Amino acid sequence: MTSSIRLGAAARKIRRVFTLGGLRKLVTRPSIVVQNIRILLFDVTLKPIPLTEQLKTANNTLNALAETASLAGHDFPTEDIAATGSASAEDPDTAELGELFKKWGSDKSTKHNYHIIYSAILRAKRTEPLTMLEIGLGTNRIDTLSNMGLQGRPGASLRAFREWLPNSRICGADVDKRILFSEERIETYFVDQTDRAALRNLAGQFSPGSFDLIIDDGLHNSEANTNTLLFALPLLKATGVFVIEDIMGTDQPVWQAAFGLLDAKYHCEFVKTRSAYVVVISSKTAGNRISLR
């Protein structure tokens, strides 16, 4: 009952935004958006309401916030590496990473062209002792959400990164404990992206500022992605990058709102790839904006 009351209050706030007075206040005091989205998205507990309804409500709310942002003329950047168009696709380091993904059975360079993104982020320092984390190992257990099917090869991308980054520490995490493993320079952990306590437990395994790259390739929905965003940012090095794979175009308003919250400190952009969008977030203070062209 308490959650339903809170949700009703949230809906009333959204309706007030679209009055003449609400729009005037939004334009003159844009910090209100930040204040209210923190309440609506991050601080409200909606456990008695089914997850599908939570996601629908959150997406509708953020659609409205994205519309108000567009009134102020805010432009959310989108890079495009779809199909041909990117010179880095022919770079030897990029081509090598693509072949390694194929070799180990990852779809990051076959179904997708994500190898271009990861090469752009890491190729200049690939021989350095980097540390990276990928959430989502690619389970082949079909009783697990967001599985890769019976032919999936768990840990494929971790092994590809290990071979491409010869001096790096490679970490992975997954909700399916049956596929966790440990090999030379690879270690894996349990995490449930829908459970913030589980994400906090995983974060506790590392010091703040540990990672050069964190990838979210786990449970592809806005709840899991936003939970992982909050988990990942404190763990990035000053020059680190956070990448969220497989974002559908319909989720773009969610990320427009998140970008607005992060805008003062981070470079945030959508990257249009062969088959989906990817979110790329990096620190402004480090001056290390990733060029994908």
180-217 pLDDT, tens digit per residue, is: 999 999 999 999 998 989 999 999 999 999 999 999 99
If pLDDT is split at 50, 70 and 90, which confidence band does 179 have?
confident
pLDDT at 178 over 70: yes
Report the percent of the chain where pLDDT is more than 70: 62
Judge whether 79 and 271 are in contact, CB under 8 Å.
yes
Backbone angle region of 250, left / alpha / beta, with phi > 0 → left and psi within -120 to 50 → alpha: alpha
Average pLDDT over residues 125-135: 97
Q: What is the mean pLDDT of the chain?
A: 79
Distance CA 113, CA 110 (A): 7
- pTM as predicted: 0.74
Residue 29 has pLDDT above 80, yes or no: no
Q: What is the mean pLDDT of residues 285-290?
A: 60
Is residue 154's pLDDT more than 90? no
Fold of 78-283: Rossmann fold (3.40.50)
**Which sequence spans correspond to the domains of the chain?**
2-71, 78-283
CA 122 to chain CA centroid, nearest Å: 17
